[in-house]
A and B are shown apart, each in its own frame.
Chain A
Amino acid sequence: MSALTIRNLRKSFGFVEVLKGINLEARAGEFIALVGPSGCGKSTLLAMIAGLETVTAGEIYIGDRLVNSVAPKDRDIAMVFQSYALYPTMTVRQNMLFGMESRGVPKSQQVEAIARVSALLQIGALLDRKPGQLSGGQRQRVAMGRALVRDPKLFLFDEPLSNLDAKLRVDMRTEIKKLHHRVGKTTVYVTHDQVEAMTLASRIAVMHQGEVQQFDEPQTIYDRPANIFVAGFMGSPAMNFIPAEMTTVDGVDAVSFVGAGGKLVILKLQQPSGMFEKGRKVILGIRPEHLSRHNAEMRGKEGLATLVAPVEVVEPTGAETMAVLRLGELEVVGRFTPDEAPVMGEEMVVSVDMTKACLFDPTTQRLL
């Protein structure tokens, strides 16, 4: 049974259409991430699920109940806001009690819920403090605590980690993952951070310009992005895009493009041959980690192709080293282990893992 179903959902503000027919569904217990650049409509979509924005057209079902015109409080949801939205004049305890008091939950259950949640989130010591006396991370916990004291059908998170510093963000990310594992509630999580989406979600909806570009499991989205936007948005550094042309080598499909020094580079594809006519324009997508320094062991190995390119910039991060290679007009970023990292100015022989390569149509931008 699906916990949340969204059918052909549209939203317009005046003449501006911000959501253009969204279709999504979340199975019970699933963790769905809505990810996309700012202005893609993901927060609006979440607000509509919460009932804080009206629906222009389409349907939202929570469980099997149509909730289009149901008030937020009656949707059986809990939400964590980016700003935390803790009530500033109330203590942590009162913040968590507020919702239960509004709903007339019996006193004994209120006490029990506070005890359960403060143990779960380790905020027992903070119960009598005001939000102003808490650090960012503590506020974050309390905001989650306020959502958790209820037992809602659906958890909604609106960029809950974006106000935290980098280190705390990573810690809290792990925390949220553990929490979801333990509580097992259906969750919709909005973020602009593709790493958060990848690490947390059981399925990701990548949004752009008011449309869902792809809705699938994280690894699928990463390996087989539906279009150039998804390919470029997910993964950092971003996937390299190289305009190329179809050709054949020894009866096998290959792509060719002008590389360093104006020389033609031809890379053999791993896909079954005969799928594309010769001379067709394509865009070759290669992730940085699928480039590596060519060595003797690699020679003749299936699926690997080589090219030579001068190294323009080297950026070590410690765990790995990024390098910018020049391919004619284009720059290509590669991700190398420190011991095989190139040096500046080197003419590097690079091995390309063509089994992982993606081909896109230059006009429709779609994956071929």
Chain B
Amino acid sequence: MADLALTDTHDRDAVSASRRQLITRIAIYGILSLFALVYIVPLTVVVMNSFRDQPEIARNGLIAFPQSFGIDAWWSAWDSYCIGGNCEGMKRYFFNSLWMTVPATIISTMLGALNGYVLSKWRFKGSEILFTCMLLGVFMPGQISLMPWAFILGKLGLSNSVVGLVLVHCVQGLSFTTLFCRNYYISVPDDLIKAARIDGAGFWRIFRKIILPLSPPILIVTVIWQFTGIWNEYLFGVVFTSGTQQPITAALVALTAGGTTASAYDVMSAAVLIGALPPLLVYFVGGKYFVRGLTQGAIK
């Protein structure tokens, strides 16, 4: 018995091991495919519906393979669909979002880089405490600051304006951008700064010539983070703006809440996609840098 087991063992183990490996592999791919499906199916439905005719959707139901193809819904959603009595389509709100997101992203990223540079390379008494305080902003839910912002925007005369939203997003984003950049710059050797100081460079010259050229990985991460975050933000948009000043996320809700006419699923699908495209594009273009930037550590 023991002998038999001994002679057999090697072979049997190898076979069962390779079989186990195969099963594991199938299980992994199965589960991954399932999750991928969960994410992709809604997107597919929306994309398909945006190219179907409304009558066909009404006839065959929301989830069905297209029997027709047309891009009218896209034009309508962009240019002429009526939202809250305003028949200009999504384009106004799309540009509202763009004029809000781009400046807010750039300003909050640059300020974050500058903050990170100061907090990591020009420490002063209390700089650690200051940094800890800024970190609180990372954990603070946005709704807490609704009332204070309403007050401040009112005082500044920026209520119901895109500029007001830019200000809100710059400040709200600052804790994240500062955290990202500060943690990245901490791995830049202090000797570089010392060498540059001896070389006669000042605060700004060191920032521009030494720190910024080292920063693309973290700046890409920050920009993607801020862009998608601000573009997709809804709460501030819907609370602080109304009518023609709304960003696209808020306008999308107005679109569905339109009411009297029957729901135009084709136009809604196209509108939703128009609202989703910019962050998707940003991620497609910068996604690989995003992952790389998040995992990349010290600079040699």
Given the contacts A83-B189, A99-B200, A103-B200, A89 and B210 also touching, CB distance less than 8 Å: yes
Q: Mark A64-100 against chain B: 1 for CB-CB distance below 8 A, else 0.
A: 0000000111000111011101011110000000110
Contact of B300 among A47, A78, A88 (CB under 8 A): A88
| Nearest CB in chain B to that of A104: its residue | B200
Confirm or deny: B288 has a beta carbon within 8 angstroms of a beta carbon on chain A: no
With A47-B194, A87-B209 given, can you name 9 additional A-B contacts, CB distance below 8 Å? A51-B198, A77-B198, A85-B191, A88-B299, A89-B213, A98-B201, A99-B200, A102-B196, A102-B201
* Residues on A with beta carbons closer than 8 Å to the beta carbon of B198: 50-52, 72-73, 77-79, 99
Given the contacts A83-B189, A85-B194, A102 and B205 also touching, CB distance less than 8 Å: yes
Contact of A85 among B195, B209, B213 (CB under 8 A): B195
* Residues on A with beta carbons closer than 8 Å to the beta carbon of B200: 73, 99, 102-103
B197 and A98 form a contact (CB under 8 A)? no
The CA-CA distance from A79 to B196 in the complex, in Å, is: 10
A89 and B214 form a contact (CB under 8 A)? yes
| Nearest CB in chain B to that of A132: its residue | B300
B194 and A52 form a contact (CB under 8 A)? yes
B197 and A72 form a contact (CB under 8 A)? yes
Confirm or deny: B199 has a beta carbon within 8 angstroms of a beta carbon on chain A: yes
Confirm or deny: B26 has a beta carbon within 8 angstroms of a beta carbon on chain A: no
Total CB contacts across the A-B interface at under 8 A:
63
Question: B104 CB to closest chain A CB, in angstroms?
Answer: 28
Question: B28 CB to closest chain A CB, in angstroms?
Answer: 38
* Residues on B with beta carbons closer than 8 Å to the beta carbon of A79: 194-195, 198
Residues 204-219 of B at the A interface (beta carbon under 8 Å): 205, 209-210, 213-214
Contact of B196 among A89, A98, A103 (CB under 8 A): A98
Question: A86 CB to closest chain B CB, in angstroms?
Answer: 8
The CA-CA distance from A98 to B208 in the complex, in Å, is: 12
Question: B17 CB to closest chain A CB, in angstroms?
Answer: 43
* Residues on B with beta carbons closer than 8 Å to the beta carbon of A90: 209, 213
Query: Range of interface residues on chain B?
Result: 10 to 19
| Nearest CB in chain A to that of B199: its residue | A99
Question: A35 CB to closest chain B CB, in angstroms?
Answer: 21
Given the contacts A87-B192, A88-B299, A98-B209, A52 and B197 also touching, CB distance less than 8 Å: yes
Number of residues of chain A lying within 8 A (CB) of chain B:
24
The CA-CA distance from A228 to B205 in the complex, in Å, is: 49
The CA-CA distance from A98 to B199 in the complex, in Å, is: 7
B interface: dominant SS: helix
* Residues on A with beta carbons closer than 8 Å to the beta carbon of B199: 73, 98-99, 102, 146
The CA-CA distance from A131 to B198 in the complex, in Å, is: 19
B194 and A81 form a contact (CB under 8 A)? yes
B189 and A85 form a contact (CB under 8 A)? yes
Which has the most chain B C-beta neighbours within 10 Å: A52, A73, A83, A85? A85
| Nearest CB in chain A to that of B193: its residue | A85
Question: A14 CB to closest chain B CB, in angstroms?
Answer: 12
The CA-CA distance from A51 to B197 in the complex, in Å, is: 9
The CA-CA distance from A158 to B299 in the complex, in Å, is: 21
Q: Mark A269-297 against chain B: 1 for CB-CB distance below 8 A, else 0.
A: 00000000000000000000000000000
Given the contacts A89-B213, A102-B201, A81 and B300 also touching, CB distance less than 8 Å: no
Contact of A87 among B194, B197, B210, B300 (CB under 8 A): B210
The CA-CA distance from A132 to B199 in the complex, in Å, is: 21
The CA-CA distance from A283 to B214 in the complex, in Å, is: 57
* Residues on B with beta carbons closer than 8 Å to the beta carbon of A50: 194, 198
* Residues on A with beta carbons closer than 8 Å to the beta carbon of B210: 87, 89
The CA-CA distance from A82 to B192 in the complex, in Å, is: 11
* Residues on B with beta carbons closer than 8 Å to the beta carbon of A82: 191
Question: A140 CB to closest chain B CB, in angstroms?
Answer: 14
A81 and B197 form a contact (CB under 8 A)? no
A81 and B214 form a contact (CB under 8 A)? no
B214 and A73 form a contact (CB under 8 A)? no
| Nearest CB in chain A to that of B215: its residue | A89
Which has the most chain A C-beta neighbours within 10 Å: B192, B205, B213? B192
Question: A157 CB to closest chain B CB, in angstroms?
Answer: 13
The CA-CA distance from A202 to B62 in the complex, in Å, is: 89
Which has the most chain A C-beta neighbours within 10 Å: B197, B200, B205, B300? B200
25 A-B pairs (CB sep. < 8 Å): A47-B194, A71-B197, A73-B197, A73-B198, A73-B200, A73-B201, A79-B195, A81-B194, A82-B191, A83-B191, A85-B192, A87-B196, A87-B209, A87-B210, A88-B300, A89-B213, A89-B214, A98-B209, A99-B199, A99-B201, A102-B196, A102-B200, A102-B205, A103-B200, A132-B300
